Structure 1
Amino acid sequence: MIKSRLTEIVRTFALSCILAAGDALASTMEFPSMDEYPHMPYVVKNPGAQYAGDTRMFQGIPSIEAAPNGRLWATWYGGGTGESLENYVLLATSGDDGRTWSKPVMVIDPPFRASEPALWLDPGGTLWFMFNLFPIRSAVDDRLTMEKKFKDIRAYNHFMGANTFVGCQLWVMTTDTPDRGEPVWSEPRLVAMETHNMNKPTVLSDGTWVWPSSPLKSPRGLPVRPLYSNNNGKSFFYKGAVPVPPQTRNADEYQITERKDKSLWLLNRMKYGIGESFSTDGGTTWTEMAPSQIAHITSRFYITRLQSGKLLLVKHGAIKSNVGRSQLMAFLSDDDGNNWTGGLVIDERNDLSYPDGTQAKDGRIYIIYDYQRHREKEILMATFTEEDVAAGKVVSEKTRFRQIVNKATARNPRHDKVPATADFILNTGGETPQGDTAVSAISAPLAKGDRPTVKASATVITDKVSEGATLFADRIYAWNRPPAAFEDLQFIRMPMDKAGSVMFETSGIVYVATPSPNLPGGADLNPFSNEAALIKQGFRKSDMPGFCIFGQAKRDVVSVFQKTVSAGEQVRIKKWAVIIF
């Protein structure tokens, strides 16, 4: 028995390597035996109090689908204080058009991370519940925690032996009765190893299903390659890989649209926003990923073809604007994405993300998204019509916004009130820090004076300094409690990972918060300090004590530099700093 299992593991691993190398473009995926995974994926069909909203400190990344009779289903994941091995997937339903929602009716909670779920109603009326498991990440994160979740060390060792080379796994459960509040679900089915899916499949005009799967951040750097099925999901196979430049590759949260000329249009989350690739041979070959004409933050978007034949796109901000994770809007295209019209604002606030959607049988559109995953912890829904999107405003009576699907209420420790002082954050016991975080002879008292004005541009996003405000255009990090000296000031929300500059039209005091390069003892914990570059631009370090601008880690401690800028002067920063004025 042991030898047989080992042979199966080796064979499965060898198959994944062959597919990764591109030598078996049309090979049918072999499904690993369920006997090899006796502990997976831990389906909890009657979730208890441990999964109640008052226990969750983090949740987000939702998906939504409508049954033929209008019953709605929603899924998302939570658990822990952020993305971690403590994550689990939740499923809920609504029988009154989303006005009220059930408590979680099912949970996927293995002894490692479960996340990025998706829901999809196939053409035959079967509801697919998809979720991803990440055993290899958790295996190196916290062995002791994992061992406790297993019944005995023998079970744990068996699991590790079977998953040593597995980066992620795609699992599904299905039901043919999604109209019911308590449908009959299939047993969990392992679709593929070393692959991940979080968006809805596309059904091509010839009936082929295309699943937007990828190895995500595989430890072996496997390529982006969709999964295909020509027998309604009974089996799957790969075709060609999508060429994605490694220097701009991000999380591979892509979606595929079939255009009217039968070509495939793949839009992918990239470091620069949204990239695109095309295939004219059904996915056997793809063009190299390149920037699309749609500006966007590095985050998920949603695109689908409506019953009218038009494309619906839900993204942050206008088509040509990158506004960070704010201003969720919907647009229409009747020429396969060459031009976009409308522009319905779904939610104008900051810290919104990861829209997914569906169109019900009656034509209504449902969009689900998350709001402040660590603070408000809300899963929200909007419903509207194609006419609302075209008009760019509400014109129908069926429109609703900010409908709560689920709200978690447990306090996340990363938002606990903490003193904004270096002594507390650095745990120095009250001693004066030495090194670059110390208040030295070159420091100056925090200056006060006129506030300058910023030259407006499409890339300059300003916001009020306030607890919970999103700091960066490409990250969801939020302000901890700001120092009192920054009350009533503004900051510029720039990308964390890119260099940039801001021009000031009038003179005034400008502050820049950037990581302190060295902590007590000279330990170099953060290579991203702008200190040297700021000094070259004439900035001077203030005597404000170092504080954690976000998070609670030592590497997030910032020092504040200041300067009186002149009219027309530019301030240049690189990864990473925050400009305050």
Structure 2
Amino acid sequence: MPNQVSFVRQAIPALTACCLIASLLLSFPAAVRAQTVDPESVLGDTTMPPADDVSQNFPYGITGKTPPSLTKVNYKGQKPYHKHRINLRVFQGCPQVEISEEGRLWATWFGSNIQAERAPVMKDQFSVIATSADDGKTWKEVFIFDPSELLGGGASDPILWKDPKGNIRFCGRRNIEFQVKDEFASSAWEFTMVDPEDEHTEWSKPRLLGNKLISAMKPLIFPDGTILRPMDDLKLVGKPDKVRIRFLKEDVDGKPLFVSEFPADNDAVFAEQMPIIRKDGSLFTFYRALKGQKFAESFDGGKSWKLGGYFPMQFSVNTKCILKTLPSGRVLLVANDVQVKAEKGKDVYFYNDENGKEQKLKKQVTSRTRMTAYLSDDDGKTFPHKMLLCDDGQISYPSTTLGKDGAIYIVYDQGRGVIGQQAVFLSKITEEDILAGEIVNAKSFLNNTVSRPSDHGGGRREGDRL
């Protein structure tokens, strides 16, 4: 008995310590959710029916797996009064840009002849694909992605991106309101250009990627040719504690490897995450949140993610920004240089000038202005170099691509619902310009017009209710 009592007395402190450690561990938030799931459980079964299946022969037997198509416009011999002409357009925005191996520029965005953006179905909305053969001076709309002929479907969130082999791909989201349940009523489809030097290139057959939003941000390409596609389940925005921000990892042949997930974050809105690979091989991304940009990190190739909270520098409050590692090793950030603070119960919008002094916004009192290019010398920890690109109106949703000569091409939209605007702008700059805080390269330029319907008799007019 004395030996048993002694043993118990010795064991109690150890048990107490173990219980204390366990309780402390449980009290910390689960910052990392080592979560990879089977792609099919998230994307649905993307296996296509055989070619002779009724669903593959439009207009008969339409389902969510009936393939979409691209419509060629503005070609020689086309009648001038087609339904997608720019002078009918009253709304457009959310552009993307890409460049071919020989320097032909491509851009895409979505628009409508009828209404402003209306999530989630985006009915009566289509995506435009335009191209420029003269370094962005002039542009021509050449293809349309318009699912409206399929049961009134709508399109949203298109992207153009260049795969590891240099092929340019277009990815578009299609939304159809079926009268019966269909797993692919909302779906992402991808086409690949056959000849990106030809303004009216042929395209591959569309590939069904899945039934989630996969088409808002460009994929991350790894050195081995695998890619990581950002995903977001917009139907779950605003629903507390729902996991919805994800990544799809594909091998070099496009085979899905895994889907990883962020822990739930109720501050996150349309996440629009775009990761980079840091020098140590880890991944870093911003994602859009209510009060600015939050960040996340992965140390296992994107399989699990640690949320880091709000980034110390406030920018792009509840709007999109983009990250890209440049050949020099510096990190490019393109974002809205606007901060927000509360004064006497009201939001005050301001920025810090070159002397670090706060300046309140006067021309556009919104977080969506002052589109700015930043550079980081320390792998994205800080962004000490910056150059203002545009503060003319409501400016948002940047996208970028790199030319072989060190040029950085950036597109963004202006005033999606503002009379006389609905514009898409292109700026061409270099690292040297950003370091100087102004254009110093003779070939650089700011805010060339890619598209503005009001220049062609279109656009929103007085009295339009969109």
TM-score (ref. length: structure 1):
0.60
| Partner Cα distance (2:142, 2:225) in 1 | 33
CA-to-partner distance for each residue in 1:247-303, whole Å, 9 max, x for gaps? x12012111111111111121111122111111111221113521123122111121
1:31 aligns with 2:46: yes
Return 5+ residue gaps in structure 2 as ranges: 1-33, 50-55, 57-62, 75-80, 341-349, 352-365
1:224 aligns with 2:245: yes
| Partner Cα distance (2:450, 2:459) in 1 | 19
1:253 aligns with 2:253: no
CA-to-partner distance for each residue in 1:44-68, whole Å, 9 max, x for gaps? 2236621111101100000000001
Matches within 5 A, 1:508-547: none
Q: How many residues align?
A: 373
| Partner Cα distance (1:382, 1:281) in 2 | 35
Q: Which residue of 1 aligns with 2:304?
A: 285
Q: Among 408, 416, 420, which residue is 2:463 paired with?
A: 416
**Inter-CA distance 319–273: structure 2 relative to 1 (3 Å threshold):** closer
| Partner Cα distance (1:188, 1:83) in 2 | 25
1:402 aligns with 2:444: no
1:347 aligns with 2:347: no
Deviation at 1:167, TM superposition (A): 6.6
**Inter-CA distance 281–319: structure 2 relative to 1 (3 Å threshold):** farther
1:58 aligns with 2:76: no
CA contact (8 A) 2:146 2:154 kept: no
| Partner Cα distance (1:284, 1:416) in 2 | 51
| Partner Cα distance (1:288, 1:308) in 2 | 28
**Inter-CA distance 207–104: structure 2 relative to 1 (3 Å threshold):** closer
CA contact (8 A) 1:61 1:354 kept: yes
Deviation at 1:25, TM superposition (A): 4.3
| Partner Cα distance (1:131, 1:319) in 2 | 32
| Partner Cα distance (1:237, 1:57) in 2 | 41
- In structure 1, what residue type is equivalent to 2:269? N
| Partner Cα distance (1:244, 1:214) in 2 | 12
| Partner Cα distance (2:270, 2:186) in 1 | 13
| Partner Cα distance (2:170, 2:47) in 1 | 19
Q: Which residue of 1 aligns with 2:190?
A: 172
**Inter-CA distance 101–243: structure 2 relative to 1 (3 Å threshold):** same
**Inter-CA distance 385–32: structure 2 relative to 1 (3 Å threshold):** same
Q: Which residue of 2 aligns with 1:571?
A: none
Matches within 5 A, 1:298-313: 298-313=318-333
| Partner Cα distance (2:139, 2:100) in 1 | 15
**Inter-CA distance 294–167: structure 2 relative to 1 (3 Å threshold):** farther
CA contact (8 A) 1:263 1:281 kept: yes
| Partner Cα distance (2:186, 2:308) in 1 | 23
Deviation at 1:222, TM superposition (A): 5.0
Q: Which residue of 2 aligns with 1:506?
A: none
| Partner Cα distance (1:268, 1:25) in 2 | 24
Q: Which residue of 1 aligns with 2:346?
A: none
Q: Which residue of 1 aligns with 2:142?
A: 104
SS at match of 2:165: coil
Q: Which residue of 2 aligns with 1:76?
A: 109
CA-to-partner distance for each residue in 1:58-94, whole Å, 9 max, x for gaps? 0000000000100000000000321131110010111
**Inter-CA distance 264–330: structure 2 relative to 1 (3 Å threshold):** same
CA contact (8 A) 2:71 2:144 kept: yes
Q: Among 8, 19, 43, which residue is 2:70 paired with?
A: 43
Q: Which has the higher contact order (CA 8 A, sep 6+)?
A: 2
SS at match of 1:349: coil
CA contact (8 A) 2:48 2:65 kept: no
Deviation at 1:27, TM superposition (A): 6.4
- In structure 1, what residue type is equivalent to 2:328? S
1:371 aligns with 2:414: yes
CA contact (8 A) 1:243 1:289 kept: no
Relative to total residues, which structure has the larger strand share, 1 or 2?
Answer: 2
CA contact (8 A) 1:128 1:174 kept: yes
Q: Which residue of 1 aligns with 2:170?
A: 129
Identity %: 28
Deviation at 1:183, TM superposition (A): 1.8
- In structure 2, what residue type is equivalent to 1:307? P
**Inter-CA distance 237–83: structure 2 relative to 1 (3 Å threshold):** farther
Deviation at 1:315, TM superposition (A): 0.9
Q: Which residue of 2 aligns with 1:316?
A: 336
Q: Which residue of 2 aligns with 1:489?
A: none
TM-score (ref. length: structure 2):
0.74
1:90 aligns with 2:125: no
CA-to-partner distance for each residue in 1:299-322, whole Å, 9 max, x for gaps? 111211111111111111169966
